[in-house]
Structure 1
């Protein structure tokens, strides 16, 4: 029973839930981080999205069972390794979908629609889009965009155009980086594991990475210049120490630009190393400089927007 639970948990991929933390972005930038009701709503949304994501992983592992058995790392997944029976995995997938959609419908109709759109996208990706070059990468990126919109809809918060562009750029950067790492790891056998890798060359993916890494930090910079959230109505202690010349979060958020550039450059280094970048969440948790810098960026954002009470 314990072994079964462990295999179910592995297939659910809780490490992947870190991607759903992007639903908190609208909460932070709306100035409602310390509003109990808003925080609980966002947390419920994160949990629901995590449930949908895990349900999709169960289904995806069933669909890809043969390919996973030929993969150097994925062959150890419980379903591919025969440690979790396919019928039981399918049961957990269906149960997860039903529970998640029921809870989503209780929160908000429009949130439910976004959840369904995310579900439909993932199903379409698993059966069709992952085999189409370029569209496979765009599908992965769309998943991140839907997460951010879900977080905004649950709070009825308007998402800035510049921030949305930043999310799109980062999502495409991560998706292309994933493909580039796969190409490095799998080398000559890449096409047999993923059809689209036969259409991507290293130079082509390098070009994509150059485009999206540049657009990622530049769109964030433009967001901090033009549309970043204002300082809260009641300034924190941080702003009482500074002259009026330096007040306003628009200016202070610019301090995070070098941090973003470092994060992107560090991630690029890991991508070309190839050993871990096949899984973005594994990169974040295994690379201490990258994790530390991301945490620093998060702390800076909160301090700048909310001040220090």
Structure 2
């Protein structure tokens, strides 16, 4: 993805478009592939959750998994917004991170905070609708990542535990 200057040049004065592109960049969509882990258990659930002899359940299971993955995309984006809001001042001084949408000022803190809350609420609501217990997994994922942003990333081993647990939670949620 380009820098903020590339975005400004591409959309020549269309502030709304620039803001939307910057906001979507702040969601870090390239990281969403990690949420594909929710599909992994499906492969290993043959003859447990579904059978190759009766594929009638597969479409419903795949829709649920797609909703779960989408909810984790929204939740992980909310977590990235939270982290970038906390780290904004430090990121502004960093040669690469200063180009992030929040650090560069392309996305304001009030907008980022509002969207963060909306994404988290929608994600948890979708999880409750799909399977209420999933909201517990989503809440745990959010809490661990908030802890990571608030300081666990500075503590050796706890940082690795926090990052690794995100993968495990997504796989278990599937």
Class of the TM-score when normalised by the shorter of the 2 chains: 0.7 to 0.9
Counterpart position of 1:115: 138
Q: Deviations over 1:121-170 (max 9, x none)?
A: 1111111211111111111011101010111xxxxxxxxxxxxxxxxxxx
Q: Deviations over 1:185-233 (max 9, x none)?
A: xxxxxxxxxxxxxxxxxxxxxxxxxxxxxxxxxxxxxxxxxxxxxxxxx
Query: Matched residues in 2 for 1:30 and 1:103: separation?
Result: 23
Counterpart position of 2:163: 140
Instruction: Name the larger-Rg structure.
Output: 1
Counterpart position of 2:94: 71
Query: Matched residues in 2 for 1:22 and 1:64: separation?
Result: 27
Q: Which residues of 2 match residues 237-248 of structure 1 at below 5 A?
A: none
Is it true that 1:51 corresponds to 2:66 in the alignment? no
Query: Matched residues in 1 for 2:19 and 2:118: separation?
Result: 17
Query: Matched residues in 2 for 1:143 and 1:71: separation?
Result: 26
Is the contact between residue 23 and residue 107 of structure 2 (CA under 8 Å) also seen in structure 1? Answer: yes
TM-score (norm 2): 0.83
Query: Matched residues in 2 for 1:137 and 1:67: separation?
Result: 22
Unaligned runs of 5+ in 1: 152-309
Q: Which residues of 2 match residues 49-198 of structure 1 at below 5 A?
A: 49-151=72-174
Counterpart position of 2:28: 13
Query: Matched residues in 1 for 2:67 and 2:24: separation?
Result: 20
Query: Matched residues in 2 for 1:101 and 1:137: separation?
Result: 25
Query: Matched residues in 2 for 1:78 and 1:43: separation?
Result: 28
Counterpart of 2:72 in 1: which secondary structure? Answer: helix
Q: Deviations over 1:251-290 (max 9, x none)?
A: xxxxxxxxxxxxxxxxxxxxxxxxxxxxxxxxxxxxxxxx
Aligned residues, how many? 151
Counterpart of 2:105 in 1: which secondary structure? Answer: coil
Larger RCO, structure (CA 8 Å, separation 6 or more): 2
